[in-house]
């Protein structure tokens, strides 16, 4: 495995693969290494080459390299590793996920959507490049994501499997996934929303991409149907847990800590878990979801340790 080179790039420190010494596993260094792995690939995939219109690439890179945690790509890689795959097998999907996530942030921040000026401590894309270029940068990141995935040629997955992952990723991001989630978010603004509606909305707005990450990573790593089923249950729980925690953070943290405007859900009249069930119950719910995610991985061996630790990380980062 040390010398395999499938995908846009390869691991710089393959010797520090988590299963080489399980007792030494540290989630913080795992997250850091995998994030760097993804960032090197993104840097070569979305590269400015000095051709006319360089401003578009600059706008794409501005938001892509704004310091995200790369959680979706890392989940794809961890799921790929959990079924015995090489991190590089999921690298095309990992890049595609982060590009799609970034496009969604750029478009969500536009004046006609959430109208946000600040994201990860910096001015939002349209504040720097203007609305037209921000819209186009989002469009390009979304579109280019499918080039990267379609050209990734993982070792352990057939072309048919990659094609399935393309379809699942598009489904997670499109009119029955992330986009309908954002549309519902806008349509529900200021209206009384119950828990069932909120869960329906979040399963699409954030959950679908988390699910595509872990299912896709498993498929590209050559996972069998039982493993993919387990990853599906893990992915559903972790996606919802992430959103519940995000809502709690929005209520509790200051803008300084999060690097974006906080309490904005409340200001926009958006339904949140803390608003509907209170902060204490929201925390408890997030911990239940974390446990469900970990339980779903019962049949996996030590290679699923990163996935288990990520579930813990996602929930405990705030609570």
Q: Is 212 left (phi over 0), alpha (psi -120 to 50) or beta?
A: alpha
For the CB of residue 182, give the shortest distance to its own copies in the complex, in Å: 6
Cβ atoms of 85 and 135 closer than 8 Å? no
Does 52 bind its own copies (CB under 8 A)? Our answer is yes
Does 60 bind its own copies (CB under 8 A)? Our answer is yes
Name the residue with tokens 């379609």: 150
Which of 35, 173 has the CB closer to its own copies? 173
Q: Among 27, 66, 128, 147, indicate the residue that binds its own copies (CB under 8 A).
A: 147
In DSSP terms, 119 is beta-bridged to: 122
**For residue 252, how many other CB atoms are within 10 A of its CB?**
15
Name the residue with tokens 């990380």: 313
Cβ atoms of 168 and 232 closer than 8 Å? no
**What is the x/- site pattern for its own copies, positions 4-43, by CB under 8 A?**
----------------------------------------
Stretch in the footprint of its own copies (CB under 8 A) among 12-20, 174-182, 236-244, 294-302: 174-182
By CB under 8 A, what part of segment 184-213 binds its own copies?
184, 186-187, 197, 200
The two three-digit tokens of residue 37, written as one number: 């792995």
Q: Among 81, 86, 109, 144, indicate the residue that binds its own copies (CB under 8 A).
A: 144
For 118, phi then psi, to 5°, come to -130, 135
Q: Alpha-carbon distance 195 to 85, whole Å? A: 38
Question: Whose CA is closest to 104, among 185, 191, 8?
Answer: 185
Does 123 bind its own copies (CB under 8 A)? Our answer is no
Does 162 bind its own copies (CB under 8 A)? Our answer is yes
For the CB of residue 160, give the shortest distance to its own copies in the complex, in Å: 4
The two three-digit tokens of residue 148, written as one number: 């990267």
List of residues contacting its own copies (CB under 8 A): 46, 51-53, 55-57, 60, 103, 107, 110, 112-113, 130-133, 135-136, 138-147, 150-151, 158-160, 162-164, 166-167, 169-171, 173-175, 179-180, 182-184, 186-187, 197, 200
């Amino acid at each position: 495995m040390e010398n395999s080179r499938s995908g846009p790039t390869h691991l710089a420190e393959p010797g520090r693969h988590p299963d080489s010494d399980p007792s030494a596993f540290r989630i913080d260094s795992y997250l850091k290494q995998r994030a760097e792995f993804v960032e090197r690939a993104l840097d070569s995939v979305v590269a400015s080459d000095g051709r006319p219109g360089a401003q578009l690439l600059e706008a794409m890179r501005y938001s892509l390299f704004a310091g995200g945690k790369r959680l979706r790509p890392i989940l794809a890689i961890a799921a790929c590793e959990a079924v015995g795959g090489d991190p590089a097998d999921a690298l095309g999907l990992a890049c595609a996920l982060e590009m799609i996530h970034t496009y969604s942030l750029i478009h969500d921040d536009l004046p006609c959507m959430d109208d946000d000026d600040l994201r990860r401590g910096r001015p939002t894309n349209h504040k720097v490049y203007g609305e037209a270029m921000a819209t186009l940068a989002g469009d390009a990141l979304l579109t280019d994501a499918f080039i990267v995935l379609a050209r990734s040629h993982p070792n352990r997955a057939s072309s048919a499997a990659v094609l399935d992952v393309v379809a699942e990723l598009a489904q997670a991001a499109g009119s029955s996934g992330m986009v309908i989630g954002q549309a519902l978010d806008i349509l529900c603004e200021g209206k009384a929303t119950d828990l069932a509606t909120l869960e329906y909305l979040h399963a699409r707005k954030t959950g679908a991409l988390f699910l595509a990450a872990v299912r896709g990573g498993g498929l590209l790593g050559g996972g069998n149907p039982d493993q993919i089923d387990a990853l599906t249950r893990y992915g559903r729980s972790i996606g919802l847990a992430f959103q519940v925690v995000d809502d709690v953070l929005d209520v509790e943290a200051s803008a300084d800590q999060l690097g974006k405007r906080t309490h904005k859900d409340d200001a926009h009249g958006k339904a949140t878990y803390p608003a509907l069930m209170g902060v204490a119950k929201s925390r408890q719910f997030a911990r239940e979801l974390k446990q469900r995610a970990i339980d779903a991985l019962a049949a996996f061996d030590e290679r699923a340790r990163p996935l288990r630790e990520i579930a813990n990380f996602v929930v405990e980062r705030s609570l």
